[in-house]
Amino acid sequence: MPAEAYILDGYVDEPTCLGVPPYISPYIRTVAGVLIGHEFSVRYLTIDQLRKDQHVITVLDRADLVVMIAGVTVPGKYLGGKPATLTEIQQIGHMVRGPKKLIGGPIGFGYAKEGGQRAIRQVISGFDALLAGEPAVAIDNYLNGNEPVGMLDYSRTDTWSGIGSGIIVQHPDYPYVMCELETARGCSHGATGGCSFCTEPFYGMPKYRSIEGIANEVAALYAHGARHFRVGRQPDILAYGAGIGEYPAPRPDLLEDLFASIRTAAPALKTLHIDNTNPATIARHEHESREALRAIIRYHTPGDVAAFGMETADPDVVAANNLKAQPEEVFRAIAIVNEEGGKRRDNVPELLPGLNFVCGLAGETEMTYALNEQFLNRVLKAGLTVRRVNIRQVMPFEGTPAYMNNTLGKHERRFRQFKEYVRSTIDLPMLRRVYPIGTVLHDVHIEVSGNLSFGRQMGSYPILVGIPLKLEKRSTIEAVVVDWGMRSVTALPVPVEINTLSATAIKWLPGIGKHKVAAVIAKRPFKTLKDYQNIAGNSMLDPLLKF
């Protein structure tokens, strides 16, 4: 019998890596590869599975080795899972007594409960060792009898990512698993110290993974049933393979090769999206960036988002925190991505920018918030679209300038007002532009079941879809948009079964509302569209109704 190792996924969220379900981080796959290489039989469990069933502790107790991956350095709100807290991590460490227990991932940088609090670096009690640096390399070193410390080395991790790719079939959401793909680590803006709050400069100047290494991993994942990929593990996808300098010009030829190779390795993939994109790269190298964006759009799937770390629209805060882009550069980058990616395919725009704001940075004043609002208003009035605006408070980590120098707690009221302003004044009109009523969303995967069920498409920052019906968790539907919330849409399953639809769902149909629900129910069953239109009138949903 081979020795048994468990990978316990406490989930990760970093500026350049997401591993909260349905995402599975590269760490899990490379660690699995190392363990298989050391002849362990490898099992995978998530922190949510453990929360639901405490029996899992007994299962872990009987294993030979437990490796936990955890840590959140950019706090978010999640639908698919809840990252492990420090208390939970330490409880697991103390309750599981049998095997050797190792822990790795961004938890090594420190821990805070939420944004707006300092992340404190601390000893994680209950574990035998912290895997310092790159978890896969550290664990390989440890299993070879050396210190559990590792520097990223793509020549080693590329091999392990292929060997460990089969771990995805054990994910509770499989086959609806989004494989976060790594293309680079480290940030060129780190040449001048990097943005004051960011942990990515800890990884040093960029190291790029080879196209061959990425494509081989995609092929291995695909062979195990992976169909959803996000090229998200890098600070700036447009800088892939670019030369030296703080803001190197994109290499469209390399991006063309990269995305074409992914498509060749996974011919029937269903999702291929991107994530972080540096607006300064686009503004400073417009021609190369347009070519690079076109290359991505040729191979990706629509509904994609280029996330811009804008952080603030206050030039003084940009300067005080060595941020990467001035507001004018971000505005120009928004316009360029709209021009290149605004066309619709499969009912949604190809590629839109998303904006991230970070509040509580050094130099912030009440005026900063007014400038943020004015900036977003200008984007809206210019007819430009952003897919989503993410606002958070900084979580300063030891070793970053923001740890000692920030304005947390100084403008709480204004921070809340800014959030409220964006939700009510910016988000709604943007959602109306991206998802007009009648938009059919393909493959909405139900993640929360109830009288109001919630689902999302697989993708980068997918829109939250509320469906006023009890739907089975993990089922997949086509859904048509009938209304908008602040940060979500309301939708009904397609075809719309008008003769059996519940009253709570009928009221969302265009032309019905609360007043005509009783009339529709009284006249059911309708035999023809004409019969129905006599009560409800015509609507753009008519072709989607079923009688």
- Contacts with ligand SF4 by CB under 6 A lie at 15, 187, 189-190, 194-195, 198, 200-201, 235, 278, 309, 324
Between the two ends of the chain, the Cα-to-Cα distance in Å is 59
* Minimum distance from residue 350 beta carbon to ligand SF4 (Å): 24
Cβ closest to ligand SF4, residue 189 vs residue 209: 189
* Minimum distance from residue 147 beta carbon to ligand SF4 (Å): 28
In this structure, what DSSP letter does residue 234 have?
A: S
* Minimum distance from residue 191 beta carbon to ligand SF4 (Å): 10
Cβ closest to ligand SF4, residue 356 vs residue 449: 356
Cβ closest to ligand SF4, residue 161 vs residue 199: 199
Cβ closest to ligand SF4, residue 250 vs residue 309: 309
Based on the number of CB atoms within 10 Å of its own CB, is 199 exposed (0-12), middle (13-18) or buried (19 or more)? buried
* Minimum distance from residue 522 beta carbon to ligand SF4 (Å): 58
* Minimum distance from residue 418 beta carbon to ligand SF4 (Å): 20
* Minimum distance from residue 313 beta carbon to ligand SF4 (Å): 16
* Minimum distance from residue 327 beta carbon to ligand SF4 (Å): 15
Based on the number of CB atoms within 10 Å of its own CB, is 364 exposed (0-12), middle (13-18) or buried (19 or more)? buried
Cβ closest to ligand SF4, residue 44 vs residue 247: 247
Cβ closest to ligand SF4, residue 90 vs residue 278: 278
Give me the residues paired with residue 545 across strands. Answer: 496
In the 3-class helix/strand/coil scheme, how is 476-541 assigned residue by residue?
EEEEEEEEECCCEEEEEECCEECCCCCHHHHCCCCCCHHHHHHHHHHHCCCCCHHHHHHHHCCCCC
Residue with tokens 């978010």: 76
Residues in the chain: 547
Amino acid at 317: V
Cα–Cα distance, 132 to 277 (Å, whole number): 28
The neighbour count for residue 62, using CB atoms within 10 Å, is 11
Cα–Cα distance, 400 to 118 (Å, whole number): 11
Q: Is the peptide bond before 22 cis (omega within 30 degrees of 0)?
A: yes
Cβ closest to ligand SF4, residue 166 vs residue 279: 279
